[in-house]
Amino acid sequence: MKWNAMKVTSAALLIAAGVGIGMVMAKPVPASSSSMTPGSVDDPVVTKSYVDEQIKKALDGKTGNNNGGNSGSNNNGGNSNSAGNTSSDEIEIVQLPVGKVLIADGGAEAVVRTGEAVAYSTTSVGISDLTAGIDITNGKKVAKNHLIWFPRDGRGIQAASGAKTGLTIMVKGKYTIQ
């Protein structure tokens, strides 16, 4: 019986010694490969106001302090060439009368909300219906509530021939009405 007690005691002492030596000799494993300390020169702590200020500076430099807005009239009271939205970040609701054409700049986007619309293009390539994933060529119907993208200047949307009412279009980007 004494012999069993000595075996158990010896095993416990060996395990304890192994754990103790392992704790003393072991190196701590870093949480990340970089040894940067938060708040140091290599990893500075910044305030929200500083970040907001830097974002504002970046945006002001990008837009040239232009607040956008409408540089012309959208009601087309006799104007044959009304300028459209000058800010590419704002969505503008445009009322397009029958017989007028909304000509978008390349990269502009539009959604026809009301009326029967058709694509306008002076080339064989038209405008992109991103919702349906198709190319709409000149004179083809533009579906309501589909996101339309104008890949190049000179392409647009107009009311279908024979339409009795104009169009309501949401436009994001630069455009003109002719």
8 A C-beta contact, residue 103 and residue 154: yes
Q: Which of 23-32, 67-76, 123-132 has the lowest mean pLDDT?
A: 67-76
* pLDDT tens sequence across 16-58: 988 888 888 776 666 555 566 766 777 777 788 888 888 888 8
* pLDDT tens sequence across 104-113: 998 899 999 9
What is the Cα–Cα distance from 157 to 129, expressed in whole angstroms?
Answer: 12
pLDDT number for residue 32: 56
Mean pLDDT of 77-82: 44
Cα-based distances in Å from 168 to 7, 14, 32, 87, 99: 91, 85, 55, 19, 14
* pLDDT tens sequence across 138-158: 989 999 999 999 988 889 999
What is the Cα–Cα distance from 26 to 98, expressed in whole angstroms?
Answer: 81
Domains and CATH numbers, the chain: 2-63 (no CATH), 82-177 (2.60.120.1030)
Instruction: Name every residue whose Cβ is closer than 8 Å to that of residue 126 and which is 6 or more positions away in sequence.
Output: 119, 135, 136, 137, 138, 140, 155
Question: pTM (2 decimals)?
Answer: 0.52
User: Residue 28 gets which letter from DSSP?
Assistant: P
